[in-house]
Amino acid sequence: MKLLTLTVGTLSTNCYILVDDVAAECAVIDAGDQGKRIAEELARRNLVPKYVLSTHGHADHTGGVLAVVSLSGGQFGIGAADRDMALAPPEWLTAILPGFQAPPQPSLLLNGGEVLHVGNTVIEAIATPGHTPGSMSYKVGDEVFSGDTLFRGNIGRYDLPGGDGGQELASIRGKLLTLDDAVRVHPGHGPSTTIGHERRSNPYLQG
Ligand SMILES: [Zn+2]
């Protein structure tokens, strides 16, 4: 699997394109904004998305999904518990995202434990609730896409509607820190890191 990263929108969301090594297929994670730009990038590389996944229902992680799915194809997948939030996003968030487009009805509602195949690439959905009730992380080999649950040196906000700090920490400790130190972590915003680095130095995960 080859990984492409585009940073999109006002809130600089990381949009990841997971390109399979054998099939001309890919998966898109967090088409958060600028869906047309993402679709153009896919077309330029002759890639067809099989899945267009969001890590959670916040508008800065779903705002480009409609354009990508309409222009390039793919099944939109999201955590089941974030479906309603994704389809009817709160105004406090869309107000700061000019040109926001609500995503289409998801064709894939995830609860964690699902295994998706894109050519030889295997994507495992891991439920990591807390930032939102339906937050999902996606693990592909030694890479994990952590959305707004775990960042380099930080953890996601849990003071927004639907957020739960205790649940978020339990998700990070129980589902992410249980992975090997060498696993690379690709968050929804900001630079990538590793599980080992966060285990040792993330101030929110000490003690
Ligand atoms: Zn978020």
When pLDDT is cut at 50, 70 and 90, the band that residue 23 belongs to is confident
Using the mean position of ligand 1's atoms as its centre, give its distance from the Cα of residue 131 in Å: 7
When pLDDT is cut at 50, 70 and 90, the band that residue 177 belongs to is very high
Using the mean position of ligand 1's atoms as its centre, give its distance from the Cα of residue 203 in Å: 20
Residue with the bigger pLDDT between 4 and 93: it is 4
Computed over every residue of the chain, the mean pLDDT equals 97
Using the mean position of ligand 1's atoms as its centre, give its distance from the Cα of residue 22 in Å: 32
Q: What is the pLDDT of residues 72-105, one digit of tens each?
A: 999 999 999 999 999 999 998 999 998 899 999 9
Q: Report the percentage of the chain scoring pLDDT > 90.
A: 95
Q: Does the pLDDT at position 207 exceed 90?
A: no
Q: What is the pLDDT of residues 116-158, one digit of tens each?
A: 999 999 999 999 999 999 999 999 999 999 999 999 999 999 9
Of 49, 48, 53, 57, the closest CA to residue 76 belongs to 53
The residue range of the domain holding 69 is 2-100+108-205
Using the mean position of ligand 1's atoms as its centre, give its distance from the Cα of residue 80 in Å: 15
Across 38-55, average pLDDT: 97
Report d(CA 109, CA 173) in Å as an integer.
24
* Total tally of structural domains belonging to the chain: 1
Report d(CA 178, CA 46) in Å as an integer.
37
Q: Which amino acid is at 151?
A: F
Report d(CA 90, CA 162) in Å as an integer.
12
Of 113, 164, 172, 170, the closest CA to residue 146 belongs to 172
Using the mean position of ligand 1's atoms as its centre, give its distance from the Cα of residue 72 in Å: 25
Q: Quote the pLDDT of residue 133.
A: 98
Q: How far is CA 126 from the centre of its chain?
A: 11
**CATH number where 68 lies:** 3.60.15.10
Q: Quote the pLDDT of residue 150.
A: 98
Q: Quote the pLDDT of residue 77.
A: 98
Using the mean position of ligand 1's atoms as its centre, give its distance from the Cα of residue 148 in Å: 5
In terms of DSSP bridges, do strands 48-53 and 75-79 run parallel, antiparallel, or are they unpaired?
Answer: parallel
Q: Report the percentage of the chain scoring pLDDT > 70.
A: 100
Ligand 1 is an ion; its neighbours by CB within 5 Å are 58, 148
Of 39, 130, 4, the closest CA to residue 79 belongs to 130
Task: State the SS3 of 18-69.
Answer: EECCCCCEEEEECCCCCHHHHHHHHHHCCCEEEEEECCCCCHHHCCCHHHHH
